[in-house]
Amino acid sequence: MKKIERAVADRYFKEKNRYMALYLVIWLVSSFGVVLFAESFSKMTINGFPFHYFMGAQGSIVIFILLLFINAKVSDGIDKKYGIDEKKNEQVSYGKTLDH
């Protein structure tokens, strides 16, 4: 596996953790925030169901799954940005050169 400098690793993990905190805040608001303000959301409907009921039954789960896919794409981009690409690491591990 390719070794990276400590300063680069710190920036890498700081950026990854910042995005993870953002995802957790979005998930927290979409699951618990809707419940806290259920009375004010009761006038809005989705497919005939009150908004707060829909979010509790299906919406927060859908948002969580979307966040998983978004996290995977963003994490791949961050990995490439800092040179922690899986293909490059496989080439370094097997002794191949990085120059094609």
pLDDT values of the chain reduced to their tens digit, one per residue, 100 residues: 567 789 988 999 999 999 999 999 998 888 888 778 878 877 888 888 888 888 777 878 888 899 999 999 999 999 999 888 777 656 655 666 555 5
Q: What is the pTM of this model?
A: 0.70
Number of domains in the chain: 1
Cβ neighbours of residue 91 closer than 8 Å, sequence gap 6 or more: 97, 98
Answer yes or no: is 74 within a domain.
yes
98 in a structural domain: no
State the residue range of the domain holding 10: 6-93
| Residue 18 pLDDT | 97
Question: Are residues 60 and 67 in contact, defined by beta-carbon separation less than 8 angstroms?
Answer: no
Q: Does any domain span residue 66? A: yes
100 part of a folded domain: no
User: Structure tokens of 53?
Assistant: 């009921």
DSSP designation for 59: I
Asked if residue 99 is part of any domain, the answer here is: no
